[in-house]
A and B are shown apart, each in its own frame.
Chain A
Amino acid sequence: MKLRTQNPPHIRSRESSLTMMTDIVIATLPLYAMAVYYYGTRALLLGGFGVIVSSMADGACQLLAGRIPNIRDLSGAVTGLLIPLLLPASASYSMILLAALFGIAVAKQPFGGMGQNIFNPAAAGTAFAMICWPKSAFAYPVPFERLPAMVDDTVRLVSSPAYSLSLGGTPNIDLLDMLLGNAPGPMGGTNILVLLTCLIFLIVRKTVGLAMPAAFLGGASLMALLTPRVDAPALTAVAYELMSGLLVIGAVFLINDPVTSPKRTLPKIFYGFGTGALSMAFRHIGRYEESFLFALLVMNATVWIIDVWGEHLAHAMRRKNREFKTNPPVSEPAEQDVGAAQK
């Protein structure tokens, strides 16, 4: 009988790209539930629109690149799910459309598509939308006011706590409401408790590691502690800074994007810390009330430097460590050769 051969190992773990992406999709669903609870079914419309647009853009770009469209790995859908969560619930459909198109067709596919993009597509698209429509991207609807499917001028839009922080004033919302998400802000960025639950879920599922989010939040809070913007008690100020804007949702979803983050543990910590510190620092300098996405993009550009630096470090440690210098035992090379020969 003739059998198909294949290189060792002959058993594989059950985890796959599909399961990882499915975990992230599952983690976004509670946020959409909360958004429906606060803003009505328009949240679902936005999410579905984003998913459809970005998946179709993904497939179309793959067709243009001459490959068979493979949207099974759900990466485009994840991008489309994340973009509305980063924008206000009153975002117009053209905003979502442009953000998704920019994220997929500019920030992802020209770089070679899945797994090769340097910048996080969701972050890039949302940043582009924010720059194109600064007014409507930073004006948020009030929770518990049902939004119509088509937002018109009758909808009451207010500014977010992040804006009042950027003006140097303490938000007039108490911390518990911000914790529960009963505060104007990005559609998915406000309900902190749900976000932390999602983070715990992802960490338990081992889809993301603990290192980067912890280092990110640590860096952000340290920066906020050192350079306070409001004259409140220090811890209160730090809590306000952390819970306003996109920091927490970024710590859950955007920082942990496996493609655009370093690989070894120490570089991961460095990257997370740097991103947190940078985004907090530019809340002082920048004009926009939210600087996390831009800081993330800048840090994405430095990931390759960080990775090579980490490889240098590991190289030096191996050189120092005697144990790794001994030659491999006799059996394995033989089996390698046989495996290669069989192939």
Chain B
Amino acid sequence: MRNYPRKGILLEQNKEPGLSKEIRILPALPVERSELPGPVSSTPDMLAPYEIVSIAKEANIVDEIDGRRLWKKLAQAARESVSGIVVDALDDEPYISSQLAPTLQFPEQLHQGLRLALRAIGASKSSIEIYRNLFDLDTRIPSSIMGVKVDRISGSYPAESYARRRLQRNSTLVVGACALLFLQRAVYEGLRQTSAFVTVTGDCVANPGNYEVPLGVSAGALLEAVGLITDPKRVVAGGSMTGFSLTDPSTVYLSQTTRGLLAFAEEFQDMGYACLGCGRCTEACPQGLSPYFIYKVMQSHRKHHIELADADLCIGCGSCSYVCPAKLDLAQVMAQAAAYTRRRQTAGGQP
């Protein structure tokens, strides 16, 4: 059993009640069907790989994990002849379950999509990756879905990026579950991707859950349609750890890669604490960096020892900010330090 990252933080996953509810299409935001030209093939299993790729291109399906076009990924994988496909369904960020819920609720469609993708790249091995440390679930996660092995990724919070990097290293194609579902729809029903699965939750949302919403809807409209208890103070698009908060939700529009929309009622108030030097960020950092050291060095005028700290290895997971007892914005400092270090390296040691 692979346990990575070695360090990192264990978050409480507030996925319920969103996960166990069935995925709904909001009546206020109907998803319009747009047919592909040409007939739907009666025997999808007989399709040639290039046909599958061309259908994916026609249906312009976008992979939600990295925002790339699915057909490009498939074609590249076919060229490089990768060994297998891993379905990325691990939502390791709290609140977000927009990959897990479709995986659990449309297993056979997912299986068909996976078979198509395998045919497209001419590979055989396949597995589905789901995060292990999910405590407060009402639904139990099966050990295999339609005969496809489910791989439980253990380890603490920034496990997804680590899993992705490991898979990229040993030449496996990582495809998001939603993309495979849309591929199945495109092939079996001849539909373009005109919608995305989004988790709408947070303590302001009336009935949190996973929704299939048409693309291009504004975040504000989606929140209205789902229904709010109170006016939110903060609206976050994306994950709760790495997403970004919106100034005006009515001007931000959902894309295929928007996996979550969170509305919180309370703000953080700044207590004006100074850095205690407790070193919790150093314990938490999955990359083995020392955010305390980098924070101190970035404070000083002449930045001694900055090249020691390897700030450019930061992956921006935000664990340091999460654990900081003084509520410092360490992730921002780390990003600045990373930019500074890259500048130094490009400038040959001199910023």
Contact = CB atoms under 8 A, between A and B. Distances in A.
Contacts of B319: 9
A15 B247 contact: no
Contacts of B164: 329
Nearest to A265: B283
A16 B326 contact: yes
A10 B264 contact: yes
Interface in B320-337: 321-327, 329, 331-332, 335
B293 A307 contact: yes
A10 B245 contact: yes
Interface in B292-337: 292-293, 305, 308-310, 313-319, 321-327, 329, 331-332, 335
B268 A12 contact: yes
Contacts of A114: 273-274, 276
B113 interface: no
Nearest to A5: B245
A311 B296 CA distance: 13
B317 A258 contact: no
Nearest to A17: B273
B258 to A, nearest CB: 12
B227 to A, nearest CB: 16
Interface stretch (B73-81, B101-109, B231-239): B231-239
Interface residues of B, number: 71
A23 B244 CA distance: 34
A6 B273 contact: no
A111 to B, nearest CB: 12
A332 interface: yes
Given A11-B241, A315-B308, A324 B313 contact: yes
A264 B277 CA distance: 11
B169 A13 contact: no
A16 B240 contact: no
Contact of A308 (B165, B264, B305): B305
Chain A binding surface, main DSSP class: loop
Interface string B246-273: 1111100000000000101001100111
Contacts of B49: none
B335 A3 contact: no
A20 B161 CA distance: 32
Nearest to B287: A324
A8 B331 contact: yes
A343 B282 contact: no
B247 A8 contact: no
Given A4-B234, A18-B271, A331-B66, A9 B242 contact: yes
Given A9-B242, A11-B240, A15-B323, A311 B234 contact: no
B247 A342 contact: yes
Contact of A1 (B94, B231, B240): B231
A259 interface: yes
B335 A4 contact: no
B201 interface: no
A9 B308 contact: no
A20 B278 contact: yes
B241 A10 contact: yes
B161 to A, nearest CB: 5
A329 B315 contact: yes
B277 A12 contact: no
Nearest to B236: A10
A7 B326 contact: no
Interface in B1-20: 11
B279 interface: yes
B65 interface: yes
A253 to B, nearest CB: 15
A229 B50 CA distance: 85
Contact of B272 (A10, A70, A315): A70
B122 interface: no
A116 B67 CA distance: 44
Interface stretch (A80-88, A164-172, A187-195, A333-341): A333-341
Contact of B308 (A7, A308, A335, A340): A308
Contact of B271 (A9, A13, A72, A113): A72
17 contacts: A1-B220, A1-B248, A2-B247, A3-B248, A7-B244, A9-B318, A115-B326, A116-B274, A263-B290, A311-B305, A311-B308, A312-B308, A314-B289, A324-B287, A329-B164, A331-B65, A335-B238
Given A7-B332, A10-B243, 11 more contacts: A5-B247, A8-B318, A8-B321, A12-B268, A18-B273, A263-B282, A326-B169, A330-B66, A332-B161, A332-B317, A343-B332
Top-4 shortest CB links A-B: A263-B279, A9-B318, A258-B278, A115-B274
Interface of A: 1-13, 15-20, 70, 72-73, 113-116, 258-264, 307-308, 311-312, 314-315, 317-318, 324, 326, 328-333, 335-336, 338-340, 342-343
Interface of B: 11, 65-67, 94, 161, 164-165, 168-169, 220, 231-236, 238, 240-250, 262, 264, 267-268, 271-279, 282, 287-290, 292-293, 305, 308-310, 313-319, 321-327, 329, 331-332, 335
